[in-house]
């Protein structure tokens, strides 16, 4: 397989039967009728993570280089992810909060800081995620956070929580949280994007992987019903119409959820009763979702479009035949 360091795309913009040509940096080419970009939020510059001017390669060919939604934007927040042995975490937090028999995900809301922990690997590990606000605009994807900085952030938290965050390493790697602005479309002709390449979101509602799976379910079903390239183009348009509203709603909802979980919500602040009232329902539209119905509705839209298209072509053919007579 060609090494995908740089990809140029030609074709696909003119006649409907013209294939796309992918030009790889090693000189190889590959032709396709449909190109699906699933190259994530970092895209082609994934390994150049000290540069923030990155984007999905295919997203660029869909939106154009000057579109404000092309590259992701920083949220002003960073996060550290760490794993601890189950026994160590349980000794710090207590059996009530770390229990494989009653495994739960716990979120702790602070004044500009956040902590989440959950049990992984069938009870072998406990994951800790801490997050706080950046004091200045980031110029990279990653940073380091000192153990002393973490200690100060959580020093006024309950002792069992601050104790659990003590670490032997002087520094911890952290990632800045980035998000896409809503794109006007996920599709251009025979090119489309799915997953993080289409709608990278913040992790506050844990939906990035789920949305990618939903994208794949819809687009694979629609393309699976396509008998030729023309029908595949209709499938892509239908995918865009079906998926863009839901995924962009989640981008906005997750961002707002993060504000609340950082203790910055206008209506919630650090009021426990208000947090319970406002936070819990925010997952309803994500979880209470009928994917079978969603796919079936997309299939019906595609059928109607194909039927309309065929009727138009038939009418044009008949009109042309009458004129010839």
Confidence (pLDDT) at 51: 37
Confidence (pLDDT) at 168: 75
Confidence (pLDDT) at 2: 45
Q: How many CB atoms lie within 10 A of CB 171?
A: 14
Residue pointed to by tokens 């190259």: 39
Confidence (pLDDT) at 324: 42
Banded model confidence at residue 311, pLDDT cuts 50, 70, 90: low
Residue pointed to by tokens 């970009």: 37
Query: pLDDT at residue 322 above 70?
Result: no
Express each pLDDT in 277-297 by its tens digit. Answer: 999 999 999 999 999 999 999
Confidence (pLDDT) at 269: 96
Confidence (pLDDT) at 13: 54
- Say whether both 38 and 162 belong to one domain: no
| Gap between the Cα atoms of 296 and 122, Å rounded | 36
Express each pLDDT in 77-132 by its tens digit. Answer: 999 999 999 999 999 999 999 999 999 999 999 999 999 999 999 999 999 999 99
Q: Which residues contact 252 (CB under 8 A, 6 or more apart)?
A: 182
Closest CA to 35 of 54, 52, 13, 55: 13
- Say whether both 118 and 171 belong to one domain: yes
Distances (CA, A) of 274 to 49, 131, 180, 231, 271: 39, 21, 29, 50, 5
Confidence (pLDDT) at 12: 54
User: Does residue 26 or residue 251 have the better pLDDT?
Assistant: 251
| Gap between the Cα atoms of 92 and 81, Å rounded | 17
Mean pLDDT of 143-157: 93
Which H or E element spans position 10? strand 7-10
Domain presence at residue 311: no
Banded model confidence at residue 304, pLDDT cuts 50, 70, 90: very high
- Say whether both 62 and 187 belong to one domain: yes
Q: Which of residues 162, 179, 196 is at a domain's end?
A: 179
Q: State which residues form the domain around 128.
A: 73-179
User: Does residue 214 or residue 162 have the better pLDDT?
Assistant: 214
Domain presence at residue 9: no
- Say whether both 56 and 113 belong to one domain: no
Distances (CA, A) of 49 to 61, 142, 151: 21, 7, 27
Banded model confidence at residue 49, pLDDT cuts 50, 70, 90: very low
| Gap between the Cα atoms of 97 and 93, Å rounded | 6
Confidence (pLDDT) at 238: 98
| Gap between the Cα atoms of 179 and 254, Å rounded | 10
Tell me, what DSSP letter sits at residue 14? S
Confidence (pLDDT) at 211: 97
Percentage of residues in the chain having pLDDT higher than 90: 69
User: Does residue 142 or residue 168 have the better pLDDT?
Assistant: 142
Confidence (pLDDT) at 58: 83
Per the prediction, the chain carries an average pLDDT of 87
Confidence (pLDDT) at 65: 87
- Say whether both 199 and 298 belong to one domain: yes
Phi then psi dihedrals of residue 305, to 5 deg: -65, -40
Q: Which residues contact 132 (CB under 8 A, 6 or more apart)?
A: 77, 78, 112, 113, 114, 153, 262
Confidence (pLDDT) at 97: 95
The CATH code of the domain that includes 160 is 3.30.9.30
pTM of the model: 0.85
Q: Which of residues 161, 179, 197 is at a domain's end?
A: 179
| Gap between the Cα atoms of 168 and 194, Å rounded | 40
Confidence (pLDDT) at 325: 36
Banded model confidence at residue 308, pLDDT cuts 50, 70, 90: confident
Domain count, the chain: 2
Bridge partners, residue 142, by sequence: 175
Banded model confidence at residue 320, pLDDT cuts 50, 70, 90: low
């Amino acid at each position: 397989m060609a090494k995908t360091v740089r990809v140029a795309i030609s074709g696909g913009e003119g006649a409907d039967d013209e294939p796309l040509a992918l030009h790889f940096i090693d000189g190889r080419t590959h032709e396709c009728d449909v190109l699906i970009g699933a190259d994530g939020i970092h895209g082609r510059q994934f390994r150049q993570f000290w540069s923030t001017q990155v984007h999905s390669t295919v997203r660029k060919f869909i939106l154009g280089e000057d579109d404000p939604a092309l590259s992701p934007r920083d949220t002003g927040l960073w996060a550290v992810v760490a794993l601890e042995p189950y026994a160590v975490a349980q000794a710090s937090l207590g059996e009530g909060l770390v229990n494989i028999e009653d495994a739960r995900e716990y979120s702790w809301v602070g004044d500009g800081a956040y902590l989440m922990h959950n049990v992984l690997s069938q009870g072998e590990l406990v994951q800790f995620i801490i997050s706080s606000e950046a004091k200045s605009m980031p110029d990279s994807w990653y940073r380091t956070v000192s153990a002393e900085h973490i200690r100060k952030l959580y020093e006024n938290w309950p002792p069992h929580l601050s104790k659990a965050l003590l670490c032997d390493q002087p520094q911890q790697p952290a990632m800045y949280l980035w998000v896409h602005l809503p794109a006007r479309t996920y599709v251009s002709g025979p090119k489309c994007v799915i997953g993080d390449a289409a709608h990278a979101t913040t992790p506050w509602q844990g939906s990035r992987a789920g949305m990618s799976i939903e994208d794949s379910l819809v687009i694979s079903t629609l393309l699976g019903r396509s008998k030729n390239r023309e029908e595949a183009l209709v499938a892509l348009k239908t995918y865009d119409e079906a998926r863009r509203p839901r995924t962009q709603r989640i981008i906005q909802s997750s961002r707002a959820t993060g504000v609340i979980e950082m203790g910055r919500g206008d209506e919630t602040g650090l009021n426990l009763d208000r947090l319970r009232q406002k936070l819990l329902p925010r997952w309803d539209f994500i979880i209470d979702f009928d994917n079978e119905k969603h796919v079936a509705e997309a299939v019906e839209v595609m059928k109607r479009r194909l039927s309309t298209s065929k009727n138009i072509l038939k009418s044009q053919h008949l009109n042309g035949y009458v004129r010839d007579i």
